[in-house]
Every structure is written in structure tokens, then in C-alpha cells.
Structure 1
Amino acid sequence: TGSGKTTFLLVASLYMARRGKALLVFPTSALAYQAYKRLVDYAERVGSTAKIATYNSMLKQSEREAALAAVESGDFDILVITSAFLPKYFDRLARHKFAFIATDDVDSVLRATSKNIDRLLRLLGATDEVLKLAFDVIEAGKRRTKALLGGAEREAERAEEEARKLREELRRKAKELELGVFVASGALAKARRTSRLLLFRELLGFDVGGRAEGLRNVYDLYAKLEDPKAQVAALVKRLGKGGIIYVQDRELGRELAEYLKSQGIAAEHFLRPRKKALEAFEHGELDVLVGLASSRSALVRGIDLPHVIRYVVFVGVPKFKFRVRLEEFSVPAYLSFLYNIRVILPQELRFKADKLIAQLRRIAPYAAGLEKALRSQPSNSFEEYAVGVAKSAVEFVASLLSREDVRRAIESSTEVKLAYIGGQLYVLLPDVTTYIQGSGRTSRLYAGGLSRGLSVVLVDDEKVLAALRREMELRFDEARFEELPKADLDKILSEIDADRETIRRIMSGDFKPEELSSRDLMRSVLLVVESPTKAKTIASFFGRPNTLIVGGMPAYEVSTGDSMLTIVATMGHIFELPTSLR
């Protein structure tokens, strides 16, 4: 988050719109609306005549109708939509071929249904014939793998030869179609490993995947939570405009927004996307927005205003809080719980926990679909499998908490808290993803580097904070939590405001490039080795690499921190080095 993905996609869409239609897909209406506004601004600055349209829930009904009419008639060059638009209005989209499609959050597109892969490829120009041929290549590859595992070498050779011939035919037909360009961007870039996912490799030459990169420049402060409303009001008056307040329930969010207004602070809740509130916040008419501390919240993942957002305040440590019931099941919560307690379990229980962790990781990319399947009935075999994993996880955790020895071990640990609330047993543990994404609204990549931000946690549970601190320090070397009263707020705010001023000047066009220190933030490095196996092994030293297919051969891309390393193979010796000069 905050690494410049969206800016790249917007600029790329303006460039590619000269070749044909471009489609940009965003996970939320708030992000789609902000991206649309930025894209219009960019187009005006560079003198582009591209017709830009958008469809999202933040538009008026008349505006949505006009957008649908534009899609129907093809009266657009660039279309900005949400991931929900893709399946709902695919028939209208399918009337057009797109030269460029980019997803700002590929996870939200692929998690909804793997059929979205087919839809994206059709919009890029793939035909039924080509898609069937690509599936045939994938199936031949599967037969080869199965034969190798079974020791049937001749069968494996036949399958390999079949796959080679099919792939040659596929590349010839795909070349004739002149397929468009697809960019898959996302904070996680994880998807359920289905046969359809391999279509990207066979037709477009890359695998959807990635590794976590730590980009963060945030001061983490904390103070004990005593009087939420009064404390937040005092903090906002001290910190000023450009704040986001995260709460853990909607009722408190609405009450807090009203209380802040009564204290002379311009505040509105953003518990759902609200166009007027977002625009007022961006223009400085509102001091703060109040939203939910949830990874699905519009304010956690659906707002990108680097020139405006200076700080965030969490009212309570962001946490998973659940009873061990199937109706409250959450893949991230149960994964986090089992990860944290496995070390304190007896060996036989640890084995079961590890097995469940592996199963939960497999269904994690399908978490949104799983929730629907749990509420109704599974619609396919994978949903049945996922529901079965969820039930097994709930039963296993319930059995753990029924054991006195395990409960004592958990209560004495620093990772997980058990608490009785209203006579009900709850599990409490930190929601690290929400904290990273929420606090990350304050720290974004721009031309001068990574902007400074501030995050303040009002602590309602010391044990959950301790677990959050430990998780953050494991993920980010520079993450250090400091007590709010001991922090030099004047110095922190001075750094934050200096970055915001620079960002505003860049956005307005007043900033001169020579004012920046002359150094590249990231270099591109090409490494050539002999064999693909060596290339992949070396790339793996730096983490999980991305894979591109270039000229039928794999190229592995991986970040080393200050460089983007691409490793390719020559497939043999180019020159033989003499062993002797005689």
C-alpha cells in the first residue's frame, strides 16, 4: 500500500488509450471515484483528448445512467469501474475490445470468482477457440506432472510433446488476435490456484503472484484509552486537519462524529462511501473523517489522498474479536489465532493445528466467497471443501478452548487474550493487516521518497497492543511504538507538513525536479545465467519471484530492496572459456 501502483496505472491508461480502449478496475467506489478525478486532472495537464468515463456508487443516479449509456455506445476511451461492475455488466463491456486493462486490486477481482479471469481475457480479445486451446495446454501439462510423479516417463514425454505442439499453435493464434495488455496490481496479489489462473501464463506470459514489500514511514504512538470522545477531540485539536479516526463499531463512529462537531471540529462519518464528505475532506472543509477499523472499511483501503491525510487515530487497538461459532468464522482471524498458539500446544495438537493452517491458507484467497457459502449453500466442490475446512477449524478451536491446560497456556501467553464479555467467551488478537493498511494512509510514495505519517493508538487492551507491537517489529525493522506524552509532536508534525507541502507543489506543477536530490529510488538490474533452474534458485534467495514468459522462456523478477532484479537464462553456453592459454 502506498507504493505508487495507482499512479502508474493512471499514467499507463492515458498512454495506452492512444492504441485503443482502456479499462481500470478498482476494489471500492471511493477509490474508483478518486482515481477518475485524478485521471481527468492528468489528462488535462498533458493535453490528452481521451474521453474518460466512470461508474461507481458515489455517482448520482443520472450520472450512473449516463455512464452506462457511454459503455453501451462505446463513447469512451478510458473506463473506470469497480470490481463489482465486471460480472454485473459484462455483456455491455464485451461489446468492446480493450487494448489495456488494469486491476488496482487483483485480489478483489479474482477472489470473487475465477470466471473473472475468462471475462478479462475475452475483453482483451481472446476468443472461445483460443481459450479452449489454452486449457488444452494446461491439461497436457497436468498429465505430464502426474506421469512424472507416477514414474511413467514415456507418458510424461508424450504429454510434454503434446503440450509443446499445442503451445506453438496457441502462440500463433494469440499473435493473430493481437491481445491487449493486462496489468495485475495488488497489495497481496494472492489468488486461488485454479486452472483458470494459468491462463494468464499461457496467453499473456506471466503468473499472478508476488511477495510482500515493506514500505512504511510512520511514527507509531500510543496512549491509554480513558474517555474516547474527549481524548479524540483533544488529539484532533492538537494535531489539526487531515485526520482519520478509526473506531470499532458503527454506533460509536456516528456518536463520535457528532461529539466532535459539538466541540467545534468539522467532522463527518465515512461508514459508507459518501461523495460530498470525501470532497469536503479533500478541500479542507472537514478536519477529520470517522470510519471503521476493518480491512474492508472504505477508509482503510478505499481512500488515497497523500496531500491531505497527515495522521490517523485508532480508538482501541485494531483487533479480531470473535466467539468460537461458525457464523462468526473468519479465515484471517482463525489463521492468526492458530499461528499464535501453535507453539504452546502439545505435539499431537500442534500437528492438527499445522494441518488446519495449511488448509486455511489454501482457502484464504476465497474468503469473501466462503462467507456467502456459509450463509447459504455451497454452489461447487471447492465451496464444499472450504465450508468443510471452516467447520473443522471451528470444531478444533472449540476443543482447544475446552481444555484447561490449553486455556491456561493461552492466558499466560503474550499473543492471544481470552475474555468474558457479557458472559460469553471471546478470543481477542491484533488485526495487523488493518493496522498496516489504515496507518499506511498517512505514508505514500511520491517523487521525493516516502512521505512521513503519524499513527496514534488509544489502547483499550495492553495485551493486544503488545502482540501488535511484536508483529509490527517482526515485519518492519523501523517499527517502534512510543508513548504519546514522550513524543516530540512539534518535530513530528513539522516533518509531516513539509512532505505534504512538497506533495501539493508536485501535484500543482509548481515543483521543479532539480529540487529533489538526484538519485534513483530503484534501479533495474539484469542478471544472465546458464540454466532456468539456476535463475529461479538465485531469484529465490531474495524471496518469492514474479515470473514472466519471454520468448517462451521464464524470466524471474524480484526486488532486492534498492534494485529490481531480472534473472534470465541463456539455455546453454554462449562461449566456451579455455582451461589453458597454451
Structure 2
Amino acid sequence: MSEQPHLVAVYEQLCPVCGQHLSTAEIDAHQCRTKNIPLNQPYHLEAFREFEAFFRQRTGFQLTPVQRYWSKKLLLGLSFTALAPTGVGKTLLGIAYSGFLAQRGKRSYLMVPNSVLLEQVAQRLQTCCPDVRLLAFRGRMKKAEKEAFFTALMQKDFDVLLTTTAFFSRHREKLVPLTMDHIFVDDVDAVLKTSRNVEWLLRLLGFSEEEVRSGQRHPEKQVGQIWVSSATANPGRKARLFTQLLNFSVGRMKQAIRNVVDIALPTEIPQPYDVLATILRQLPSGGLIFTTTEAEARQVEEQLVSQNISVAAVVSDLPAARRHGIIQQFQEGKIDFLVGVATPYGLLVRGIDMPLRILSAVFVGIPRRTVGVQDLETISPQFLVHLAGLFRNHPEISRLLPYLRRKEETRQAVREIIRSFFERQDFSFLAPGVLVEENRLVIPDVSTYLQASGRTSRMWKGHLTRGAAIVLDTPARLTAFAERAMLYGIPFQTAQSPADVDWDPLRKELVNTRLQAELGALPQLEPVLFVVESPTKARQISQFFG
């Protein structure tokens, strides 16, 4: 009887050593035939032990389990999306890794969402890595300082470049002559708003213009690495270049890990300053107050100061030095509460990280966006997709939705259908959780709420602290907001008045979780290994997350 032929399976691009195809024969031999080294050798990293000691020495902290996982990927030279909730230590890891690379003669570029966080990162970097040559761009620089910055930039006289994402969008062409070994983007949404930004980022890593245009990488090409925070918005088409050239995708994350008590307090008063003051007197020092406009933020500041509450507004028309001074006073406990605006890229929504200082957030009005018939021609294509989704129960819009991103004529057809709803004042096809006020749609912005309230619940020494978020608005708006929030898995507690809230245990809990985090008495966030039966299924499942 003849022997059956031995079948060899080949798994495409899954060799952990060379990144090329992996055969069952190589698996049986535990050896990569391309480089002739054991398959498990890349994971026994001497560099990891060195970085672990460096991180502990420079920051005073041990790497958390999720930071250990990311560190190993970084030290393998991989590019990836850091898929995790806000406050788990991504920025601190980026700072420490940049300092570690600087000791090895490599350059890093740290990109943050705004000037407030830029100052915090600069201070942290200079504290834990004083030997690193930091080059940071600040909007309040004088002319001579800006000229000195660009001179140092062109002469490559730095180890770590630190800017906002807005700076990158404005000056990306000036950066192209540079090649970065490591790029960390702390707010990838802001970068992906402009498709061309992706191309320039790849050029900064060392890809040629031809490679970026074709989406094909030269097999032996050595380039830098990039890791980014998880996206909350839809990445544009150009984000596919990350997959084609660096083998990772910019995943989206639904905020699933947060430790916040969400409280809705209905009020019919348009400007509930007395109710707000009552709430703040019940909360411990260290909170954020969010309004819907900067004018309202100023009014809230004025009214609360008149009631002897320690509060200051952080708004865009303040000089940068004044804004930073107010935030510094807040951090030192000299100001009890800060007031800002609840917009997707507000100064206090994304740009402040104080796990031990920020315990609560109060929203004077639900975060929202309003749309009227006059706005239909000016809204972005991305927001038109979102708006059409709210009318998906309409049969024609439902039919056109899959083609909305591709064709302008489809977008125009959808605009005309939605325009007819406004003209007839017929919103019967509107999805739940959206209000109509004076023939304008009031669309709750739950994503901004999650970002803003997430300032109150952060990772500290690997532990998740407790936060509180209180929302004041009319009963109708709060009902709509709670409906939209449930789509994100966020349940609201409703109290009819501040007197109905049990403030004493809440205050103690907010303070005690921070004490417990300091002592290491809370459970840590850990990465989980998800094992499936085939590489194909693993690849498919990973695409859900990035």
C-alpha cells in the first residue's frame, strides 16, 4: 500500500520572525527557514528587560499589563493601534519609549490634540527624561522663538519632536525632509480628518512618494514605526494605506471600560445657576463644568463667582499663557472647578489628564449638535452620512445609504429628501433619541459626553478610578440623551432634584478610589488573549477591532 503524500499548509504573512509565509513544516521544526532562527526568538527580548527597567527608573511606576503588551510590540518594531479606553497610560508609555529610543540615537515625534496636553507632555518628558533634547512648538512663541524652532527642526537638532496635530496639518510639507524612527499620535481622529495627512505621515516614516501612491512597500525597505490611539470617528479611505504598507488598521473603539456614575437632573430653567451651585457645593474640589458655547461658559463663571464658588473658565479667546496658568492653579488646588465647552475637540474634553485631581463633571445642557434646513448644503459629507442614518427608516434613504460616501449625486439626492422633511415639518421617519425644536434637529452628542466625562475616570498606577457625571437639561432633552446613551451601554440614574441624590457616599467613593489606586488596592486592566481555530478567523475577528 503506497504512502499518502505529506500535505504542507502555508499561512500567508504569519511568520513571527520574518513576517512572510509560514509553513506547517516550519511550525513542526520550530524554525523560520527564511532567517534560520527559532520561531519564538523574537519574543525573548533582551531589549524589553532593558526598557522595563528604564520605565521603572524614569517614571517611578511599574509597567501595567497592557503597557507591557504594547512595549513588546514596539520593541519588535511593529506599528499598531493602541485599542484601549482613555487614561490607561498610552501617553506615558509614548513619552518613556521616546526617551528610551533617544538613548539609542533615534528620533521620535509625539503628536497631541491641543496645547494644554502639549504642556503636560513636555513637562512630564523633561521631568523623567531630562537628558533628552526636546523640540516643542507652542502657539504663543514669539517670532524669534519660532524661527529658532524651525532652524533646529531643519538641522535635526532634537531627539523628540512634540507638536499638536494642528501644527502637523499646517506644516506637514516642512517635515518631509525628516525621517522619524518612531511616531506616536495621541489623537488619531484629528489627523484622519484630512486624508492627505496619512500620506505625509507615511513619508515621515521613510516611505517614498511612489510607495505611498501605489500602496506597495519595497520588500527590504526599512522604515520607522507608528502607533496611534484608537479612533472614535470613521477613518477615511487613505487610512487603508496603514494596512497596505504597515499591516495594521486604525480600529474604532466603543467606550466600554469606564467607572462613572451618570446622573440626569431635569430642570425647566434655561439657566439653572442656583441648581448648579447647589450641586457643586455637594461635590469635592476638583471638577469640570461643561456648557454648549463659550458665551455660556463665561456666564457660568460669572454667576458662580458671585456665589463665592472657586471657578475659572478655560476658553479659546484667553491668551495661551493665561489658560495654562488657570489649569496650573486648578492642578495645585487653588481653583476648585474649571468651566469649558463640550465640543469634540474642546480644551477640557481631550486636552487635560489629571487622574487624582478631576473627580466629577457637570454638564449644563446635554452635549449636542443642532441642524436646520439651512445647514444641509454646508455640512460635511461625513456628517451627512450620520444625518442620513437618523432617517434610515425612510425607504429611499435606506436604499441610498450604502452609496452615500461614493457619489455626490447620491449625497445631493439625500439632501433633497431631508430638505423635504424640514419643509413639510414631517419627522415621522426620525430615529429615537433625536428631538425637533423649532423645526431644527437636536442631536445628542454622546461621543463628546464620553470623552468629557472620561476625564473623571482614569487609569492611575494601573487602576481605574471612580468618577461622577451630572447632566442638567429639560426632561425632553434628557430623555432623548439617555436613549442615545443606551446605544453605548451607558445607563443614567435620574433624580428629580439635587436633594434626591445621596451625596455623602458618592463623595467618599470618589475620594477613596484614588486613595486605593495609590495603594494598589484596585483591580488592574489586563490584555486578553483570544484564541481561535484558524488564522483566517483570527484575521477576520481582528478587523472588528483594528
Shorter-chain TM-score: which interval? 0.7 to 0.9
From the two aligned structures, give the one with the greater helix fraction.
Answer: 1
Secondary structure of the residue aligned to 1:458 is: strand
Aligned match of 1:140:
none
Task: Give the alignment partner of residue 251 of structure 1, picking from 292, 295, 299.
Answer: 295
Question: Which deviations, in whole Å up to 9, do the C-alpha atoms of 1:143-178 show, x marking residues without a partner?
Answer: xxxxxxxxxxxxxxxxxxxxxxxx6xx212x1xxx3
Is contact 2:466–2:509 with CA below 8 Å preserved after alignment? yes
Number of positions where the alignment pairs a residue of Structure 1 with one of Structure 2 = 451
Is contact 2:254–2:488 with CA below 8 Å preserved after alignment? no
- Does 1:102 find its partner at 2:175? no
Aligned match of 2:196:
115
- d(CA) in 2 for partners of 1:58, 1:243: 27
* Percentage of matched positions with identical amino acids: 30
Give 1:474 shift.
Answer: 3.0
Aligned match of 1:157:
none
Aligned match of 1:396:
417
- d(CA) in 1 for partners of 2:274, 2:209: 62
Give 1:104 shift.
Answer: 0.9
Give 1:324 shift.
Answer: 1.4
**Stretches of 4+ moved more than 6 A in 1?**
none
Aligned match of 1:230:
274
Distance 1:193 1:390, change over 3 A: same
Is contact 1:473–1:480 with CA below 8 Å preserved after alignment? no
- Does 1:200 find its partner at 2:242? yes
Give 1:533 shift.
Answer: 2.8
Matches within 5 A, 1:478-517: 480-483=493-496, 484-501=498-515, 505=518, 515-516=520-521
Secondary structure of the residue aligned to 1:171 is: coil
Aligned match of 1:171:
219
- d(CA) in 1 for partners of 2:466, 2:204: 40
- Does 1:37 find its partner at 2:123? yes
Give 1:470 shift.
Answer: 1.9
- d(CA) in 2 for partners of 1:486, 1:17: 55
Give 1:338 shift.
Answer: 4.1
Question: Which deviations, in whole Å up to 9, do the C-alpha atoms of 1:369-421 show, x marking residues without a partner?
Answer: xxxxxxxxxxxxx8xx56x56544432212123346x44676xx85332222x
- d(CA) in 2 for partners of 1:454, 1:320: 23
Is contact 2:284–2:507 with CA below 8 Å preserved after alignment? no
- Does 1:522 find its partner at 2:532? no
Aligned match of 2:331:
282
Give 1:92 shift.
Answer: 4.2
- Does 1:354 find its partner at 2:358? no
Question: Which deviations, in whole Å up to 9, do the C-alpha atoms of 1:543-575 show, x marking residues without a partner?
Answer: 8142xxxxxxxxxxxxxxxxxxxxxxxxxxxxx
Give 1:486 shift.
Answer: 2.4
Secondary structure of the residue aligned to 2:280 is: helix
Aligned match of 1:329:
379
Question: Which deviations, in whole Å up to 9, do the C-alpha atoms of 1:287-312 show, x marking residues without a partner?
Answer: 22212122132222222222221111
Distance 1:414 1:544, change over 3 A: closer
Give 1:469 shift.
Answer: 1.0
Give 1:230 shift.
Answer: 2.3
- d(CA) in 2 for partners of 1:426, 1:130: 47
Give 1:23 shift.
Answer: 0.1
Give 1:489 shift.
Answer: 1.2
Is contact 2:264–2:478 with CA below 8 Å preserved after alignment? no
Is contact 1:55–1:68 with CA below 8 Å preserved after alignment? no
- Does 1:430 find its partner at 2:453? no
Distance 1:229 1:58, change over 3 A: farther
Give 1:108 shift.
Answer: 1.3
Q: Tell me the TM-score normalised to structure 1 length.
A: 0.70
Q: What is the aligned-residue RMSD (CA, Å)?
A: 3.0
Question: Which deviations, in whole Å up to 9, do the C-alpha atoms of 1:58-104 show, x marking residues without a partner?
Answer: 55666545433432332221111112222433354334321101111
Aligned match of 1:533:
536
Aligned match of 1:84:
166
Give 1:219 shift.
Answer: 1.1
Give 1:26 shift.
Answer: 1.6
Aligned match of 1:8:
93
Q: Which amino acid aligns with 1:269?
A: A
Give 1:218 shift.
Answer: 1.0
- d(CA) in 1 for partners of 2:117, 2:348: 10
Matches within 5 A, 1:419-498: 419-420=437-438, 425-459=439-473, 461-476=474-489, 480-483=493-496, 484-498=498-512
- Does 1:319 find its partner at 2:405? no
- Does 1:264 find its partner at 2:349? no
Is contact 1:469–1:480 with CA below 8 Å preserved after alignment? no
Give 1:337 shift.
Answer: 4.8
- d(CA) in 1 for partners of 2:391, 2:489: 22
Aligned match of 2:356:
307
Aligned match of 2:544:
544
Is contact 1:452–1:499 with CA below 8 Å preserved after alignment? yes
- d(CA) in 1 for partners of 2:367, 2:342: 6
- d(CA) in 1 for partners of 2:252, 2:415: 30
Aligned match of 2:227:
183
Question: Which deviations, in whole Å up to 9, do the C-alpha atoms of 1:425-472 show, x marking residues without a partner?
Answer: 22223121222112111111233532111111111x322211211222
Is contact 1:312–1:455 with CA below 8 Å preserved after alignment? yes
Distance 1:76 1:358, change over 3 A: same
- d(CA) in 1 for partners of 2:396, 2:342: 32
Secondary structure of the residue aligned to 1:402 is: helix
Aligned match of 2:205:
124
Is contact 2:263–2:469 with CA below 8 Å preserved after alignment? yes
Is contact 2:111–2:163 with CA below 8 Å preserved after alignment? yes
